[in-house]
Amino acid sequence: AAIAAAAPLLSIAADAPPAHAGLFDAFNPNIGAAGEPRAAPPPPGSPVSLAVTDKVYIDLEQDGVGALGRVVVGLYGEDVPLTVENFKQLATGEQGFGYSGSILHRVIKGFVLQGGDFERGNGTGGKSIYGGRFADESFAVPHGEAGALSMANAGPDTNGSQFFITVGPTPWLDGKHVVFGRVVEGMDVVRKVEDTPTSAGDRPNAAVRIASCGVLDASA
C-alpha cells in the first residue's frame, strides 16, 4: 500500500495515479513543459546527507482539549531542496496560503498522522508553491523508524501540500513517497495525537489543528 491522500487526490494507499495526474506538469520545476521526459529520481539506497538545514515548528491544538504542544521537524535541504522549500513556504504562508489553521485529517495508530490539506480538510485538496503538484524529487532517504516526515501523494509525481509523520517503521513506503525530514522535538506530542480516538476515514473525533507554524533557526 502507498500513502494516498485520503480520497481521489492524495493518498497513502492508492497505487495508481488519478485520471487527472499530470494536470499540473506545466508548473513542475522538475519536469518543465507538460509531459516532458525527465530522469528518474534517485532511488532508495542512494547516498544521502540527512543534514538538517532548516527547522519548522508546528503548534497543535485539539477541539475540547486546547493546546497539545509543539512539534519541531528538521528538514533535509541538501537531499531534497525543492520539497523542503515547498514545506517551508507553506509553513510561513508567504504565498498567501499554507498550513496554519488546517487540520490533521487522518490519524492511524501505529502508522501515520496525515495533514496538509488546507483547502478541503479531507485529503482531497491542497497545492504546492509551484502552482499545483510537482515531481518526486528523490526516494534516496528511507522512512526508517518513527518520526519520518514524508509527502503524501496520489501516485508518481503528484506531490502537493499533504504530508505525513510516521509513528512506526514503514519500509514499504520507500520508493513511493519522498522523505524530506524528521521530528527533532515533540515526539511526545505526536504520540498524543496518535492516541486520539478516530472514526470513519481515520478522522479524529475531535479535530486536531495546526494552531500556528513557521520557520526556526536551524542552528538552535
| 42 phi-psi bin (left φ>0, alpha ψ -120 to 50, beta other) | beta
Task: Please tell me the predicted confidence (pLDDT) of residue 189.
Answer: 98
Q: What is the largest CA-CA distance in the chain?
A: 50
Clarify whether 205 is annotated catalytic: no
The burial class, CB within 10 Å (0-12 / 13-18 / 19+), for 70 is: middle
Catalytic residue among 163, 173, 180, 203: 173
Which residue, among 53, 55, 58, has the nearest Cα to 81 in the 3D structure? Answer: 53
Lookup result for grid cell 519548522: 56
Which residues of the chain have a pLDDT value below 70? Answer: 1-39
Clarify whether 106 is annotated catalytic: yes
Clarify whether 153 is annotated catalytic: yes
3-state secondary structure 110-177: CCEEEECCCCCCCCCCCCCCCCCCECCCCCCCCCCCCCEEEECECCCCCECCCEEEECCCCHHHCCCC
- β-partners of residue 159 are 134
pTM for the structure as a whole: 0.85
Clarify whether 111 is annotated catalytic: yes
Task: Please tell me the predicted confidence (pLDDT) of residue 83.
Answer: 97
Q: How far is residue 130 from each of residues 16, 44, 174, measured CA to CA in Å?
A: 23, 25, 24
Task: Please tell me the predicted confidence (pLDDT) of residue 33.
Answer: 34
Catalytic residue among 153, 159, 162, 163: 153
State the virtual CA torsion across 175, 199, 192, 79 in degrees, nearest 10. 20
Clarify whether 82 is annotated catalytic: no
Tell me the torsion sign for CA atoms 52, 76, 8, 111. negative
Nine cell digits for residue 5: 491522500
Catalytic residue among 28, 62, 114, 159: 114
Nine cell digits for residue 119: 483547502
Predicted confidence (pLDDT) per residue in 121-174, tens digit: 999 999 999 988 999 999 999 999 999 999 999 999 999 999 999 999 999 999
Catalytic residue among 105, 106, 133, 203: 106
Catalytic residue among 24, 87, 163, 164: 164
